[in-house]
Amino acid sequence: MIEAGEESMKKVWESLSNSGTQEEAYPDNPRTDIRGMFSFQPKRILDIGCGLGAVSGTIKHDFPETFAWGCELNPITADVAQTRLDKVSRSPMEAWGGDELELLKSVDTVLLLDVLEHMYNPWSTLQILREHLPEHAQVIVSLPNCANIHIFHELANGFWHYKPAGVLDVTHIRFFTQYEMQKMFYETRFKVARQAYPYFLPYIQEDRVFPFWFGGESMQVHVKDQSHWESLNAVQIYFNLVTAYDEQLNEEELMLKHGRHPETLS
């Protein structure tokens, strides 16, 4: 039975504008934890999907010699970022002209923090970066992991519940598992130098003997080892990417880059 007033509650899709973006305020989060993924202290940053400029703006505040360049498509948000950063581009990378592409050659660090899943073609963005970044550059990526236990459980019960934020954010266009993230990176000619799981579901705290079956009446997952268990409990995954040639890749990495996708039922 619907309680009085419930029928007037705002639906999550009602927060979307005609462009597919949310009308809600952008979070002003400096995300200082992402600095643990740096291989070196950035001197010239490109922050794609910079929002209000909190992340790269805070780095610039802490290290004033840093050049901080943001890319933000929301004009109101970009205006705020402009007060914090040295430069803000307001068009997608695919539309950049010669000056911006030339400037990209001087960047040593790119931030792609929960932005690739909002793009229709994230592969194209990564290809442009690979073509124009200097060889020593690092690319820091944060992506939500749709292959976590909670999502499996909801799917087993017939749900794919869009939310205002999180893994099933209603503005997400692309959804990735850890394998699909890695394959996207290698196919666009990057190499994973480091990865980390910043947020775990509570099950990870329980002692386990591998392998084992995990789940309930609607779902059972065969957990192979500790690494598999960590990936199933990871809500988000961080990556440090570097450019790499085939001769710098091992056999498994070469398969990710050149091999066919494993056969699936779908």
- Could you confirm whether domain 6-17+28-258 is CATH 2.50.20.10? no
In the predicted structure, residue 26 carries a pLDDT above the cut 90: no
Predicted confidence band of residue 12 (pLDDT cuts 50, 70, 90): confident
For 52-81, b/e burial (b = at least 16 CB within 10 A) is bbbbbbbbbeeeeebbbbbbbebeebbebb
Give 139-160 pLDDT, tens digit per residue: 999 999 999 999 999 999 999 9
Mean pLDDT over residues 150-174, rounded? 94
What percent of the chain lies above the pLDDT cut of 90?
A: 85
CA 155 → CA 148, 158, 263, distances in Å? Answer: 11, 5, 21
Q: At 94, which amino acid appears?
A: E
Closest CA to 84 of 110, 118, 55, 111: 55
How many other β-carbons are positioned within 10 Å of the β-carbon of residue 166? 13
Mean pLDDT over residues 81-102, rounded? 96
Determine the Cα angle at 96 with ends 94 and 101, to 5°: 110
Task: Please tell me the predicted confidence (pLDDT) of residue 27.
Answer: 77
Task: Please tell me the predicted confidence (pLDDT) of residue 24.
Answer: 54
Task: Please tell me the predicted confidence (pLDDT) of residue 168.
Answer: 95
Q: Compare 21 and 52 and report the one with higher pLDDT.
A: 52
Task: Please tell me the predicted confidence (pLDDT) of residue 7.
Answer: 52
Predicted confidence band of residue 17 (pLDDT cuts 50, 70, 90): confident
Tokens of 118: 């909002």
Predicted confidence band of residue 8 (pLDDT cuts 50, 70, 90): low
The model's pTM is: 0.93
Phi, psi of 101 (to 5 degrees): -65, -35
Task: Please tell me the predicted confidence (pLDDT) of residue 20.
Answer: 56
**Is-contact 192 184, C-beta < 8 A?**
no
Task: Please tell me the predicted confidence (pLDDT) of residue 21.
Answer: 57
Give 33-51 pLDDT, tens digit per residue: 999 999 999 999 999 999 9
Give 221-262 pLDDT, tens digit per residue: 999 999 999 999 999 999 999 999 999 999 999 999 999 999
Residue with tokens 């690739």: 116
Reduced 3-state DSSP string for the chain:
CCCCCHHHCCCHHHHECCCCCECCCCCCCCCHHHHHHCCCCCCEEEEECCCCCHHHHHHHHHCCCCEEEEECCCHHHHHHHHCCCCEEECCCHHHCCHHHHHHHCCCCEEEEECCHHHCCCHHHHHHHHHHHCCCCCEEEEEEECCCCHHHHHHHHCCCCCCECCCCCECCCCCCCCHHHHHHHHHHCCEEEEEEECCCECHHHHCCCCCCEEEECCCCEEEECCHHHHHHHHECEEEEEEEECCHHHCCHHHHHHHHCCCCCCCC
Give 97-143 pLDDT, tens digit per residue: 999 999 999 999 999 999 999 999 999 999 999 999 999 999 999 99
Residues 6+ apart with CB under 8 A from 178: 145, 147, 231, 234, 237
Where do the structural domains in the chain lie, given as residue ranges?
Answer: 6-17+28-258
For 25-34, 77-86, 191-200, which range has the lowest pLDDT when averaged over its residues?
Answer: 25-34
In the predicted structure, residue 75 carries a pLDDT above the cut 90: yes
